[in-house]
Amino acid sequence: MLFDKFQSMADFQASLAEQEVAPFGAVTEEILSASEGVVQGRKVILAGTNNYLGLSYDPRCIKAAQDAAQRWGTGTTGSRLANGSFAEHQALEEEIAEFYGVNHAIVFSTGYAATMGMCSTLAGPGDVILMDGDSHASIYAGVKLSGAEVIRFKHSDPEDLAKRMRRLGDRAAGQALIIAEGIYSMLGDVAPLQEIAAVKREYGGYLLVDEAHSMGVLGDSGRGAAQAAGVEADVDFSVGTFSKSLGAIGGFCVSPHAELEAIRFCITAYIFTASSSPSVIASTRESLRIISQEPQLRKKLWDNANRLYNGLKSLGLPVGPTASPVVAVAMDDRSATIDCWKALMDAGVYVNLVVPPASPSTNFLLRNSVSAAHSREQIDTIIAAYSGLKDAGLINPSQAA
């Protein structure tokens, strides 16, 4: 039957209901601040929001959104190619291009649409895409639609990428698109972009970097992992989202290539999607200004990230390879992971529960995202909650991955 393929998910949802937990799509009834809210009836520290700089609740961004709604209305009711291109959309494109030091930018309605749209359009039949095996679902969706030959290289393995580029021969120079991410969203590891860029310089091709989780987080001015690695000149296309550091919703692509303006009119995810509401565009513009002018937010974010990472690591928990605003604890037992998620909620800490295939392996993850808005005391409360899991026998190194 048509629905048979969904039975395993239905069974999983039923088991969660029996345990009286709802880790997926947990409902937030009230936002108290950028770092606190009421989730499913409990006041909690928000440690699973990706609100890296806390700007979703910044009064300046809220005021910009309110003013824009008053002036422009609540929505555009059309795509950018129909009736949905407002002056504010063009202004944001100009500003984000300037932020990245390039001349061309496209603003999308979601980050997913930006990444999927670019990955489905840049390469086509006869071309080849070389993508990191742990790429985000939006990248996988895009390359599947592209019609290009798709080759996966081992996660963050420049040598494997080089081997596969060599095999392409002459095709590597002009028909290959390499795709990597800045910070990988599940474990928080940073791509070795210096080495990946070196492969591109040796064999040719084009490089697209998804800076969704690294924009606003890495780099001297917050442009992301490519800036931090000193390889921006090697990046042909940078894509990202407004829903992380910028605290809104939407996405972008920036490029030094003038061809981006022609590519714009070939991206179905752009052509056939209603444009972002004026309030979203206005708050994003204000957030971009704040990121440009207030580097102390990044410093506070990294102080918090290092504090949480080191605190969980000192408990003997299996965290990612390096400190990052994404700090995930990996476990190999689904039931134990769910029990831990529930216990964290009971302790007043909301984190993300990640299960395969969303996780990059067969592991189950308790995924924490850190914000500049978190206080030192809140970070210590999160660490104490994990310590409580150990004391209660709910988690220990032998249960973890």
Look at the alpha carbons of 196, 138, 146, 253 in this order and tell me if their dihedral is positive or negative. Answer: negative
Q: What is the mean pLDDT of the chain?
A: 94
- Decide which of 397 and 80 is more confident: 80
Helix (H) or strand (E) holding 349: strand 349-350
Whether the pLDDT of residue 15 is over 90: the answer is: no
Whether the pLDDT of residue 400 is over 60: the answer is: no
Whether the pLDDT of residue 401 is over 70: the answer is: no
**Mean pLDDT (whole number) for 305-320:** 95
302, 308 in Cβ contact below 8 A? no
Range scoring the smallest mean pLDDT among 11-20, 111-120, 315-324: 11-20
What integer pLDDT is reported at residue 398 of this predicted model?
Answer: 52
What integer pLDDT is reported at residue 299 of this predicted model?
Answer: 98
Closest CA to 177 of 255, 264, 118, 97: 118
Domains and CATH numbers, the chain: 4-57+295-391 (3.90.1150.10), 59-293 (3.40.640.10)
Compute CA distances 128 → 123, 168, 207, 342, whole Å: 7, 9, 12, 44
Whether the pLDDT of residue 399 is over 60: the answer is: no
Range scoring the smallest mean pLDDT among 1-5, 110-114, 119-123, 195-199: 1-5
> What percent of the chain lies above the pLDDT cut of 90?
84
Q: How far apart are CA 219 and CA 243, in angstroms?
A: 19
Q: How confident is the model at residue 243 (pLDDT cuts 50, 70, 90)?
A: very high
Q: How confident is the model at residue 154 (pLDDT cuts 50, 70, 90)?
A: very high
Q: How confident is the model at residue 25 (pLDDT cuts 50, 70, 90)?
A: confident
**pLDDT by residue (tens digit) across 355-396?**
876 666 668 899 999 999 999 999 999 999 999 998 888 887
Whether the pLDDT of residue 19 is over 80: the answer is: no
Task: Concatenate the DSSP letters of all residues of 271-289 into one string.
Answer: HTSBPPPHHHHHHHHHHHH
Helix (H) or strand (E) holding 382: helix 376-391
- Placement of tokens 């990444």 in the chain: 115
Task: Concatenate the DSSP letters of all residues of 303-338 into one string.
Answer: HHHHHHHHHHHHTT----SS--SEEEEEES-HHHHH
- Decide which of 182 and 394 is more confident: 182
Q: How confident is the model at residue 24 (pLDDT cuts 50, 70, 90)?
A: confident
**pLDDT by residue (tens digit) across 28-52?**
999 999 999 999 999 999 999 999 9
Q: 37-70 b/e with 16+ CB inside 10 Å = b?
A: bebeeeebbbbbbbbbbbbbbbeebbebbeebbe
What integer pLDDT is reported at residue 397 of this predicted model?
Answer: 64
Question: Which token pair is 252?
Answer: 């972008």
Specify the 3-state DSSP secondary structure of 389: helix
Q: Compute the residue count for the chain.
A: 401
23, 353 in Cβ contact below 8 A? yes
